[in-house]
Structure 1
Amino acid sequence: MATVSDEKPIKVVGYMPADTPPLGAMLSLGFQQVLTMFPATILVALLTKFDVGVTLLASGVGTIIALLVARRKIPMYYGSSFSYIAVVITVMSLYANDCFSNPATTYCPAGVRIVQVGILGTAIVEILIGLLIMRVGKAALDKVLPPIITGCLAIVIGIALAGTALNNAGTHWPVAFITLLVTVGFSVYLNGKGLLGMLPILFGAIVGYGAAAAFGIIDYSAIATAHWVQAPRITLPAFEDPRAWGAVISIALIAIATVPESTAHLYQMSLYIDALANELKRPALKIKELIGLNLVADGADDLVVGMLGGCAGTNYGENNSLMAITRNYSVPVLMTAGVMAILLGFIGKLAALVQTIPTAVVGGLSIYLFGVIGMQGVALIQSEKVNLFEPRQLAVGAIILVSGIGGSIALPNGLFPFVIPGIFPNGIPAIVFSAILGILINLVFVLLPPSLFGVKERENLNV
């Protein structure tokens, strides 16, 4: 009988950020990363009328640049962010009317060029917040942007998109509901099933596409006319257009909602990486301490995206989960994935195939995904144990929700009728107005805390 000393030690398999796997492993692991980011990244491009090829190109280049800015210490993959969809659609509808008035339009360069200026503004905001955190620490930022603001803003972003999702679904309800139901089914019943569990959107889109084909509502002509190799339609920001400068504030303010999301991803990755380091008997990296640097990397990604004409980006939780499943946190693998995304951006047939996805399929996916964005805001408030019985928290949250959701639904074009020449010539978008209002009201409570008036403050619930 073998003794304990005769047993062979168990080999720990996994890659730390600085590790370079063998070529075969690097290619296969990199392809998995691309496959994981692809459905959501492309869906944002479809919803906002951005070029699919440029979106893939920008995702790859932006990821590589962000990894380099983060000194190859923070393994993150960057794709298109859903948080910006509502304000991007609002801006493009205001300043480039043809973008959304014609359902047949799949790409709107005039609107994209205006939005690019706003995405560059987002990049600057993220970089400045990152540098500020590196200087003064995250606690100071949390006073200005507490969870009640960031959580409620996420709820507004998701629910404000409800009309867009339903309008898209309404182009063919049977296809939309088939897409919705199978996507939800895949997300629930494949949860925890490895790579398959990371791809419910892709599988839902495939089934929805098949249903649309059965109903005969797909136009394949674009695939036939597209070239196999085609340069992405890169556009330059419309710096010369005065309307674009109003988009800067509107779009850049949405970074408020992505900062806590990015920070949560960083904490998640730090936990996984340090657990692997412990098994490999290596020092813990503690990348959770690099909050500021992580946000600077986020901003670097948006600088690239904004200059090329891709959708505003964020680091992807789906890809983080895939890394946890495969125990692969290799930065060289993520750079390989970035190169693959760049190459995909030049395949014209692929972009044409994506653009044949019927609006109803997109609508079915959107009903689920937009609702999830809102629910993530609820989850943030819960995880931070925000005391919703305290008047201060209730006031800030209630005002953001009603002005953001109500304004988006009830006001003409979703605009508050407060004209600021040169910045908001047509009025302030409801999402932006709700964010500004929430921040200002919270600042009043920071400068004049209830304790000054003998009121006991209860920031969080201790349960």
Structure 2
Amino acid sequence: MSTKQTVTGYLPDERPPFFKLLLFAFQQIIVMFPATVLVALLTGFHVSTTIFASGLATIGFILITGRQIPLFYGSSFSYITAICSITGAKAFAGPVADDKIAAAQFGIVLSGLVSIAAGLIIKQFGQEAIEKVLPATITGSIALVIGLSLAGTALGDPVNLPNGVSEASKALALNLSWTICIVTLLATILFSVYLKGTWGQIPILLGLLTGYVLALILGAVNHIPFCDFNKIPETQTLFSIPAIGFALPHFTLPKADWAAVAAIMPIAIATIPESTAHLYQLDIYVNNLARRKGSDKKYPISDKLGLNLVGDGLGDMISALIGGPAGTNYGENLSTMAITNNFSTPMLITAAIITMIISCFTPLTAAVYSIPNAVIGGISIYLFGVIASQGITIMISKKVDMFDSRNLAVIATVLIIGIGGSFAFSDGMIPMFGAKFPAIATAAIFGILLNLLLNIGRPKPEAQSED
């Protein structure tokens, strides 16, 4: 009994005290910020608008799902190539013209209908229907693919040196960057393993601060600008107060463009297995925490897959209606919740509100932007690895038979197509039959079709799992 009493954590319907709430919320913002901003920089969307849209869509998602599914909405990498085909954006070249963003917005708004339709079908035909199409062999493998496909990004961050490093200092800067990355990684791991109570629930934030302070010291001593406060690109806005650094995000409205619909709408299919995997992961971790805390309450999160997909689709619509890119619930935030045992819905709402505030104040945005790539890399190695590990957790919890040749065939092909496609081609697009297909989406669709084909005439799962 005593071990149950010492478990620290917050279930979805629990609210931390105010000061802790702010700390936990800021930690959630830290882990979503790099990827969300990167999508904006790669697609030509306005950064401040993308950040604002992420917070607004998160609040919309949580309210739409009745505060029962604590997940954070952020910009999805799956849509980058499709969006860029409409905006014509060049990476890191700044925002594109409003009419191009507006055309992409129209495609994203309508792509939300795909997730909504999938959610309504599941609500109509029940959970069994979706588990037949998306069993643990698919959702677990997709979670593995998502985590492992990001491995290159995590290890590439420390090599991405800050601007202004001279040719003579590059070797030293690279060595120091890796030092910052490794210290950040080890500090975060040690904090998450050994700290207890409140401190044990903010290991990501503490690891980041450790790496940030080290970067400041090493940068000052060696005259290398690891922490750069001048990274924010200039954008026009309708209203601003320069004296306090306040500027409303640059909002745009969708404009009908059916080419954008054709390019973007099909990509929504790829986010369905991803979102399903995240929901199953969340169910496992929340109910495990409830048991460890001695709670008799059951959180039937996995039963709400239809509601989750409806929320995802409406989240895309909310984001796109004001000028944000398409998104999904974020594995980085889920990993942080799993590491810290903090699944508080009020905490995520607080994080979303703070995110929207940050987007309107350039000094706050600059502070988050100044986090060195090496620090982000150190944290990402841990977080992306946890995402992949959660894929294994799904398959273990669902008792997937790894000696069954059908299961092995599905898992093997999903992993190789998804991970191989992500690393073999710089844009993550597999060139086939005169076209290009996104690696993770292709892996998911191939796995779904293969699983359905191999299970024709197969006995029901109940008969399979009786031993």
| Pairwise same-fold verdict (TM > 0.5) | yes
Q: Does 1:407 align with 2:401?
A: no
**In the alignment, which of 436, 441, 447 is matched to residue 450 of structure 2?**
441
Structure 2 counterpart SS, 1:253: helix
Q: Provide the secondary structure at the position in 1 that maps to 2:329.
A: strand
Within the candidate set 240, 250, 254, 2:257 is matched to 240
Letter in 1 for 2:278: E
Correspondent of 2:60 among 65, 75, 78 = 65
Instruction: Give the AA of the match of 1:444.
Output: L
Query: Which of 124, 129, 132 lines up with 1:140 in the alignment?
Result: 129
Deviation at 1:71, TM superposition (A): 3.7
Are positions 1:431 and 2:440 aligned together?
A: yes
SS in 2 for 1:190: helix
Q: Does 1:249 align with 2:263?
A: no
Partner deviation per Cα, 1:140-177 (whole Å, 9 max, x = no partner): 11110111111212222222233333333322443543
CA change 1:366–1:286 in 2 (3 A) is closer
Does the CA contact (< 8 Å) of 2:335 and 2:387 recur in 1? no
Structure 1 residue 28: Cα displacement:
3.8
**1:56-107 deviation digits (Å, cap 9, x = unpaired):** 42343223323332345x26252426xx33x34444666656543x5xx576
Unaligned runs of 5+ in 1: 1-9, 421-425
Name the aligned partner's letter for residue 312 of structure 1: G
Q: 1:16 to 1:371 in 2, by over 3 A?
A: closer
**Selected match of 1:312 from 316, 323, 327:** 327
Letter in 2 for 1:204: G
Q: CA deviation at 1:427?
A: 1.4
1:221 aligns with 2:210: no
Per the alignment, do residues 237 and 29 of structure 1 end up closer, same or farther by CA in structure 2, a change over 3 Å counting? farther
Once residues 326 and 201 of structure 2 are traced to their aligned partners in structure 1, the CA distance between those partners, rounded to angstroms, is: 21
Amino acid aligned to 1:185: L
- Note the C-alpha offset of 1:238: 6.4
1:346 Cα deviation from its structure 2 partner: 1.3
SS in 2 for 1:417: strand
Rounded to whole Å, the distance in 1 between the matches of 2:146 and 2:138 is 12
Q: Does 2:39 match 1:48?
A: yes
CA contact (8 A) 1:387 1:459 kept: no
Structure 1 position 38, deviation (Å): 0.8
Deviations 1:385-434 (A, max 9, x none): 211211111111111122222222224743333358xxxxx411222221
The match for 1:76 is 70
How far 1:198 moved relative to its partner? 3.6
Contact 2:122 2:306 in 1 (8 A): yes
Contact 1:57-1:341 at 8 Å conserved across structures: yes
Indicate the SS of the match to 1:416.
strand
Q: Aligned equivalents of 1:359 and 1:137: distance in 2? A: 44
Distance 1:398 1:126 in 2: 26
Deviation at 1:305, TM superposition (A): 2.3
Give yes or no for the alignment of 1:196 onto 2:199: yes
Structure 1 residue 324 displacement after superposition:
6.0
> How far has the Cα of 1:253 moved from its partner?
1.3
Letter in 1 for 2:262: W
1:380 maps to 394
Q: Distance in 2 between matches of 1:60 and 1:393?
A: 38
Paired position in structure 1 for 2:209: 206
CA distance in 1, matches of 2:299, 2:144: 33
Residues 8-407 of structure 1 mapped to structure 2, 5 A cutoff: 27-28=18-19, 30-49=21-40, 51-72=46-67, 74=68, 76=70, 78-80=72-74, 84-85=76-77, 87-91=78-82, 98-100=89-91, 102=92, 105=93, 116=105, 120=109, 123-172=112-161, 173-191=174-192, 193-213=196-216, 214-215=218-219, 216-218=224-226, 219-222=228-231, 228-237=245-254, 239-240=256-257, 242-243=259-260, 245-266=262-283, 268-269=285-286, 289-308=303-322, 309=324, 312-314=327-329, 316-317=333-334, 335=349, 338-407=352-421
Change (3 A) 1:438 1:330: closer
Q: Which amino acid is 1:193 matched to?
A: K
In percent, how many aligned pairs have the same letter? 29
Question: Would the aligned equivalents of 1:126 and 1:298 in 2 still touch at CA under 8 Å?
Answer: yes
Residues 256, 337 of structure 1: CA spacing in aligned structure 2 closer, same or farther, 3 A cutoff? Answer: same
Cα distance in structure 2, aligned partners of 1:285 and 1:397: 28
Q: What amino acid is aligned across from residue 229 of structure 2 in structure 1?
A: Y
Structure 2 counterpart of 1:197, which letter?
G
User: CA shift at 1:272, angstroms?
Assistant: 6.0
* Maintained 8 Å contact 2:283/2:299: no
CA drift at 1:271: 6.9
With over 3 angstroms needed to count, the CA separation of the structure-2 counterparts of 1:61 and 1:265, relative to structure 1, is same
Does the CA-based 8 Å contact 1:33-1:322 persist in structure 2?
A: no
Change (3 A) 1:294 1:26: farther
Distance in 2 (CA, whole Å) between partners of 1:205 and 1:15 is 22
One-letter amino acid matched to 1:174: N
Structure 2: gaps spanning 5 or more residues:
162-173, 235-241
Change (3 A) 1:37 1:242: same
Residues 55 and 310 in structure 1, CA contact (< 8 A), matched pair in contact too: yes
Letter in 1 for 2:200: G
TM-score, normalized by length of structure 2?
Answer: 0.74
Q: 1:93 to 1:382 in 2, by over 3 A?
A: farther
Q: 1:180 to 1:291 in 2, by over 3 A?
A: same
